[in-house]
Structure 1
Amino acid sequence: MENLSGNPVESHKGDVLPASASAYLDPHYWDDRFSHEEHYEWFKDYSHFRHLILDHINPASSVLELGCGNSQLCEGLYGDGITELTCIDLSPVAVEKMKQRLISKGYKDIQVLEADMLDLPFANGSFDVVIEKGTMDVLFVDSGDPWNPRVETVDRVMSMLRQIHRVLKTHGTFISITFGQPHFRRPFFSNSEFTWSTEWRTFGDGFHYFFYILKKGHRMSESAECTERIDMPSISPYHDELDSEDYIFRTNIDDA
């Protein structure tokens, strides 16, 4: 079932691609997509950033994955001994199919719940680690000018971050795997509401995916944060690695 190239399995790409990028914000689109699609990995599979993950998650960590969809991220984590896992998705179709898949593979300890990441149903300080891969990027698909995103986009992203900050333990870690470059993500991550520090790493061939690490209770001065230098290569839309749906988020397409 796994396709390491990041392409859909048992589904033709034309069957799942939306008519416009703004459709990614429509829950009905995801229900329909997940009813047909068995597996898709946004922004590479676990093997590409496993070395980064294991620096910040250990077998004793309680982990919440946001927007699990039909990814195999939780299975990768479980295989590395991280068994206290909770996965959520807004789509009831994705949740039911994920439950059945995990049971069929013997991963009975992983909890899968239908939940909204903008209104998480967990108590304060519930998790050591919260992780999202491509889920936040969906909130930016109709953001307009990336340097000055729409008010609605800002509100959604800040709601998501507030919920993550709330459910993290005192010294918990938020991991965000994204196309979002530091100059676009930093205004959100560094908001004065949050007590976390912000750093990042990169992975990927030909161009970069970003791996952000936000450590709650460790906030540094603004000038000391996000200091890693990134030499961004030029992007060619014909690069092999861009032959996937991921590129939609790179180019910030909207309906205009």
Structure 2
Amino acid sequence: MGTRQDPNGTHKNGGGPSTALAYLDPKYWDERFSTEEHYEWLKDYSHFRHLIQSHITPNSSVLELGCGNSQLCEELYKDGVTEITCIDLSAVAVENMQKKLLSKGFKEIKVLEADMLDLPFSNECFDVVIEKGTMEVLFVDSGDPWHPRPATVTKVMKMLEGVHRVLKPDGIYISISFGQPHFRRPLFEAPQFTWSVEWSTFGDGFHYFFYTLKKGRRSLDDKGSSKEKLEIPSICLFQDELEGEDYLFRTNIDELNC
């Protein structure tokens, strides 16, 4: 599987798979990570650094879900956050990330092979859990986005319950996503969760969503708020965004969800 390099130095898989369903196949990711050096889903750190700064401090213990070959953990480390644990389901991604971090001297960052649907951590052990585009994989065969398939909902809720469990009482879950609030809020605001839900957007024209879910901050006023009418930002795509795999991935998901 060949790779190509974009003007920003990001190595891209040759246009992505022929169908979004490939993203559900672990073999696809192992094969991809065996040849692809680096790819950033949903823009690189510089585009949302201003949003993350108020939520992560040098003293934060951070868990990154689905690290792949992203440089997110490296950028956080450069900003002074040293207690970082990264997980990925792909053994190839984990091995490559371990080697890369060691070669750069980032010895404190831990990288483990683990499933985000079955987190191997004790309760209330992280200040921050972050994922960038990782949850999107669970939605590639979700069907109608307004009424996703029960199997999809079960997986998403299992992931969210695990995140909620490993967060400290005042911890924060950061989800960087394609998913618009009117699709994500019914899941984020399920009654078993104590977190509040807020979001911002970033991106030049293609809007990405930066969700911050603060554990223990949910108020009684939040109940049922997912029924409110939400304004959807307009999308005006730039050429580089049209050519990127982010757009391919989102387009394929939308086609599957129609």
TM-score by length of 2: 0.90
Could you say which residue in structure 1 is the equivalent of 2:117? Answer: 118
- List alignment gaps of at least 5 residues for structure 1: none
Structure 2 SS opposite 1:108: coil
Could you say which residue in structure 2 is the equivalent of 1:215? Answer: 214
Matched to 2:242, the amino acid is L
**After the TM superposition, which residues 72-111 of structure 1 pair with which residues of structure 2 at under 5 Å, given as runs?**
72-111=71-110
**Deviation string, structure 1 residues 128-171 (Cα, Å, up to 9, x no partner):** 00000000011101111111111111011001000000000011
Q: Does 1:154 align with 2:156?
A: no
After superposition, the Cα gap between the structure-2 partners of 1:249 and 1:183, relative to the gap in structure 1 and judged at 3 Å, is farther
Q: Distance in 2 between matches of 1:111 and 1:37?
A: 21
Root-mean-square deviation (CA, aligned residues, Å) is: 2.3
Give me the identity figure in percent: 64
Structure 1 SS opposite 2:139: coil
**After the TM superposition, which residues 127-206 of structure 1 pair with which residues of structure 2 at under 5 Å, given as runs?**
127-206=126-205
Q: Distance in 1 between matches of 2:51 and 2:242?
A: 22
Structure 1 SS opposite 2:165: helix
Q: Distance in 2 between matches of 1:7 and 1:26?
A: 27
Could you say which residue in structure 1 is the equivalent of 2:250? Answer: 250
Could you say which residue in structure 2 is the equivalent of 1:13? Answer: 14
Structure 1 SS opposite 2:245: coil
Is the CA contact (8 Å cut-off) linking 1:7 and 1:244 kept in structure 2?
no
After superposition, the Cα gap between the structure-2 partners of 1:208 and 1:149, relative to the gap in structure 1 and judged at 3 Å, is same
Is the CA contact (8 Å cut-off) linking 2:135 and 2:156 kept in structure 1?
yes
Q: Distance in 2 between matches of 1:223 and 1:249?
A: 32
Q: CA deviation at 1:8?
A: 4.6
After superposition, the Cα gap between the structure-2 partners of 1:61 and 1:114, relative to the gap in structure 1 and judged at 3 Å, is same
Q: CA deviation at 1:234?
A: 3.8
Is the CA contact (8 Å cut-off) linking 1:6 and 1:45 kept in structure 2?
no
Q: Distance in 1 between matches of 2:115 and 2:98?
A: 17
Q: Distance in 2 between matches of 1:77 and 1:148?
A: 36
Q: CA deviation at 1:222?
A: 2.0
Q: Distance in 2 between matches of 1:110 and 1:64?
A: 10
Could you say which residue in structure 1 is the equivalent of 2:240? Answer: 240
Q: CA deviation at 1:193?
A: 0.7
Matched to 1:233, the amino acid is S
TM-score by length of 1: 0.91
Is the CA contact (8 Å cut-off) linking 2:181 and 2:230 kept in structure 1?
no
Q: Distance in 2 between matches of 1:215 and 1:132?
A: 15
Could you say which residue in structure 2 is the equivalent of 1:44? Answer: 43
Q: CA deviation at 1:85?
A: 0.2
Q: Distance in 2 between matches of 1:54 and 1:224?
A: 30
Q: CA deviation at 1:239?
A: 4.0
Could you say which residue in structure 1 is the equivalent of 2:62? Answer: 63
**Deviation string, structure 1 residues 217-237 (Cα, Å, up to 9, x no partner):** 00022269689975511445x
Alignment coverage as a number of residue pairs: 250
Is the CA contact (8 Å cut-off) linking 1:6 and 1:44 kept in structure 2?
no
Q: Distance in 2 between matches of 1:241 and 1:28?
A: 27
After superposition, the Cα gap between the structure-2 partners of 1:105 and 1:228, relative to the gap in structure 1 and judged at 3 Å, is farther
Is the CA contact (8 Å cut-off) linking 1:6 and 1:41 kept in structure 2?
no
Task: Compare 218-227 and 50-59 and name the one that shifted more.
Answer: 218-227
**Deviation string, structure 1 residues 184-212 (Cα, Å, up to 9, x no partner):** 00000000010000000110011310000
Is the CA contact (8 Å cut-off) linking 2:73 and 2:84 kept in structure 1?
yes
Task: Compare 222-231 and 28-37 and name the one that shifted more.
Answer: 222-231
Q: CA deviation at 1:247?
A: 1.5
Structure 1 SS opposite 2:117: coil
Q: CA deviation at 1:23?
A: 1.0
Could you say which residue in structure 1 is the equivalent of 2:53? Answer: 54
Q: Distance in 1 between matches of 2:125 and 2:222?
A: 27
Structure 1 SS opposite 2:48: helix
Matched to 2:145, the amino acid is P
After superposition, the Cα gap between the structure-2 partners of 1:222 and 1:255, relative to the gap in structure 1 and judged at 3 Å, is closer
Is the CA contact (8 Å cut-off) linking 2:61 and 2:126 kept in structure 1?
yes
